[in-house]
């Protein structure tokens, strides 16, 4: 995949936002299969805080991922501003994606 958004992803994003609207205070994370800097990721990041530090350029662990070395941040840790997310780090060696580790506090 080229990382560009398609209409299926846009439709799914609308459905996700409809669900998230029921949670005014939330922390959510996972593999979003859309790259940071792309349309879908940026649309989410306009509404929720992207807590993965910019120093991390990929969340793909090249030691495990079948595609090898990919510079692609597709995993995310988003939150509303009701939370302080501290000590965020990515840890390798567990999966084809780095694990996202963080301390979460109420603001």
pLDDT, position 70: 58
Beta bridge partners of residue 77, listed in sequence order: 29
| pLDDT, tens digit (0-9, with 9 covering 90-100), for 13-35 | 999 999 999 999 999 999 888 88
Domain ranges of the chain: 7-106
CATH entry 3.30.70.120 includes domain 7-106: no
How far from chain centre, in Å, is Cα 58?
Answer: 11
Cβ-proximal residues to 105 (8 Å cutoff; 6+ apart), any chain: 83, 84, 85, 86
Report the predicted TM-score, pTM, of the whole model to 2 decimal places: 0.87
Q: Find out whether 9 and 74 touch, Cβ atoms under 8 Å.
A: no
Integer angstrom CA distances of residue 23 from 20, 26, 48, 80, 105: 5, 6, 12, 9, 17
């Amino acid at each position: 995949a080229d990382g560009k958004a398609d209409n299926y992803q846009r439709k799914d994003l609308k459905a996700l936002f409809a669900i998230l609207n029921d949670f005014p205070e939330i922390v959510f994370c996972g593999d979003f299969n859309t790259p940071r800097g792309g349309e879908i990721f940026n649309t989410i990041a306009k509404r929720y805080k992207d807590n993965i530090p910019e120093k991390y350029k990929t969340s793909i662990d090249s030691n495990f991922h079948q595609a090898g070395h990919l510079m692609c941040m597709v995993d995310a840790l988003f939150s509303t501003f009701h939370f302080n997310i501290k000590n965020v780090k990515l840890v390798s060696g567990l999966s084809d994606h780095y694990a996202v580790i963080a301390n979460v506090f109420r603001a």
